[in-house]
């Protein structure tokens, strides 16, 4: 029998896990991460650092920006391989790739239309901007915020639904 | 008993689900729609929605990372 036909392979590797399984694993892993590194899980703050490092390379004075002059000053002394969040983001991408490959579901997808490109780029920019003014994304601000019993996590959740509602209306109206 | 095909290749959530919902609204009872997807999340939320609505659903992996979801309108 091929390993791909085995029942356990199908449950663990091939089929999608239930939301409950995912939720429990995420909670356990975030606790482990926080216990080991003293920093809860976040995703988008490293993106702003990547932008700053690239900008600095091209002579843009990001150290004068409020964000990098004050709260995130230490970012400019770090690099990709000395920054925990950057390595973790790389881990997410590599892990997702391995999971897709193991399940034989890896595929390079075609870009369908110009409007899909516009929707993806404008959506990405809006989410990136939103994540900065909200001090985090749905991981750093919502997931890790709720886990630390912070009120900002709950406020984030309310407005995330407002944003998702507006976003889906725009999607249906202009991009479908 | 018409059969429709819905090309959702290259579309990410929630587009395949919204397209399926729109198509199903136009169909008659007994008609079948085949939704072609290559987005694994749609493989979860499209069948989930259709089953909750009480339609008959079948999923087939047609190629690596590509699926066809058969939905028969039952009401």
Maximum separation of any 2 CA atoms in chain A, in Å:
63
Distance CA B28, CA B1 (A): 8
| ipTM of model over 0.85 | no
Rounding to the nearest 10 degrees, give the CA dihedral for residues A26, A31, A37, A39.
Answer: 80
pLDDT band for position A124 (cuts 50, 70, 90): very high
> HEC states along chain A?
CCHHHCHHHHHHHHCCCCHHHHHHHHHHHHHHHHHHHCCCCCCHHHHHHHHHHHHHHCCCCHHHCHHHHCCCHHHHHCCHHHCHHHHHHHHHHHHHHHHHHHCCCCCCCCCCCHHHHHHHHHHHHHHHHHHHHCCCCHHHHHHHHHHCCCHHHHHHHHHHHHHHHHHHHHHHHHCC
Distance between CA atoms of A170 and A90, rounded to whole angstroms?
31
DSSP assignment letter at B70: E
CA distance A105 to A46: 28
Question: What number is the average pLDDT over the span A101-129?
Answer: 91
Closest chain A CA to residue B11:
A112
How confident is the model over A111-132, as a mean pLDDT? 91
Non-local (6+) Cβ contacts of A35 within 8 A are none
Which residue's structure tokens are 């216990």?
Answer: A35
pLDDT of residue A14: 87
Q: How far is residue B34's CA from residue B24's CA, in Å, rounded to a whole number?
A: 11
Confidence of residue A44 (pLDDT cuts 50, 70, 90): very high
Is B13 assigned a catalytic role?
yes
pLDDT, tens digit only, all 75 positions of chain B = 889 999 999 888 889 999 999 999 999 999 999 999 999 889 889 999 999 999 999 999 998 889 999 999 998
| CA dist., res. A59 & res. A57, Å (int) | 6
Structure pTM?
Answer: 0.83
Please state, in angstroms and as integers, the Cα–Cα distance from residue B73 to each residue in A3, A134, B20, B36, B44, following that order: 36, 43, 11, 17, 18
pLDDT computed for residue B75 by the predictor? 84
C-alpha to C-alpha distances, B66 to A44, B7, B36, B63, nearest whole angstrom:
30, 11, 7, 5
Q: Is A38 on the interface with B (CB under 8 A)?
A: no
- All residues of chain B having their beta carbon less than 8 Å from the beta carbon of residue A168 are 14
- Shortest distance, CA A122 to any CA of chain B (angstroms): 15
Q: Beta partners for B7? A: B36
State how far residue A86 is from chain B, nearest Cα, in angstroms: 25
Check residues A47 and B1 and name the one with the higher pLDDT: A47
CB-based contact, A116 to chain B, within 8 Å = yes
Please state the φ and ψ torsions of residue A78, each to the nearest 5 degrees: -100, 170
CB contact under 8 A, B10 and A105: no
pLDDT band at A15 (very low <50, low <70, confident <90, very high): confident
Confidence band, pLDDT 50/70/90 cuts, at residue A110: confident
CB of A173 within 8 Å of a chain B CB? The answer is no
Of B13, B27, B32, B57, catalytic: B13
Q: With a cut of 90, say whether residue A16 has pLDDT above it.
A: no
Q: Does A172 touch chain B (CB under 8 A)?
A: yes
Q: What is the DSSP letter of B45?
A: H
């Amino acid at each position: 029998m091929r390993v791909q036909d085995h029942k356990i392979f199908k449950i663990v590797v091939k089929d999608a896990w239930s939301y409950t399984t995912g939720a429990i694993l995420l909670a356990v892993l975030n606790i482990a991460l926080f216990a080991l590194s003293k920093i809860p899980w976040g995703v988008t703050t490293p993106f702003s650092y990547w932008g700053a490092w690239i900008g600095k390379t091209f002579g843009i004075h990001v150290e004068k920006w409020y964000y990098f002059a004050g709260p995130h000053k230490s970012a400019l002394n770090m690099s990709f391989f000395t920054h925990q969040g950057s390595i973790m983001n790389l881990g997410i991408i590599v892990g997702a790739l391995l999971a897709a490959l193991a399940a034989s579901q890896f595929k390079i997808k075609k870009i369908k239309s110009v409007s899909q490109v516009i929707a993806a780029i404008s959506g990405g920019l809006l989410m990136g901007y939103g994540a900065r003014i909200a001090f985090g994304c749905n991981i750093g601000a919502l997931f890790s915020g709720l886990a630390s019993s912070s009120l900002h996590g709950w406020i984030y959740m309310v407005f995330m639904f407002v944003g998702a509602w507006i976003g889906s209306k725009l999607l249906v109206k202009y991009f479908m | 008993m018409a059969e429709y095909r819905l090309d959702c290749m290259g579309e990410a959530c929630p587009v395949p689900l919204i397209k399926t919902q729109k198509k199903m609204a136009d169909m008659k009872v007994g008609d079948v729609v085949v939704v072609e997807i290559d987005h694994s999340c749609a493989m979860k939320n499209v069948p989930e929605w259709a089953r909750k609505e009480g339609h008959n659903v079948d999923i087939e992996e047609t190629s690596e990372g590509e699926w066809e979801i058969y939905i028969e309108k039952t009401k």
